[in-house]
């Protein structure tokens, strides 16, 4: 459990390289993020890798479940 500056919980149990995970999101174990932005209340649990580029990061919109 990681606390953000607004005291909302962000739950991350994966590696996240050059990624942003906003509050109230859930990243399941064994998920690898690279150059990704995960918006609020998104759940990432069904994929193993999310990889974007610095020029075009992957964006998971608010409330998405992937």
pLDDT score recorded for residue 63: 95
CA distances from 38 to 8, 65 (A): 15, 11
User: How many residues are there in the chain?
Assistant: 66
pLDDT score recorded for residue 28: 87
pLDDT score recorded for residue 61: 96
Tell me which residues of the chain have a pLDDT lower than 70: 1-16
pLDDT score recorded for residue 6: 43
pLDDT score recorded for residue 41: 93
């Amino acid at each position: 459990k990681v606390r953000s500056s607004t005291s909302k919980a962000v739950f991350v149990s994966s590696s996240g390289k050059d990624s942003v995970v906003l509050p109230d999101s859930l990243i399941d174990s064994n998920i690898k993020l690279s150059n990704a932005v995960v918006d609020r209340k998104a759940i990432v649990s069904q994929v193993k890798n999310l990889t974007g580029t610095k020029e075009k990061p992957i964006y998971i919109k608010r409330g998405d479940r992937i």
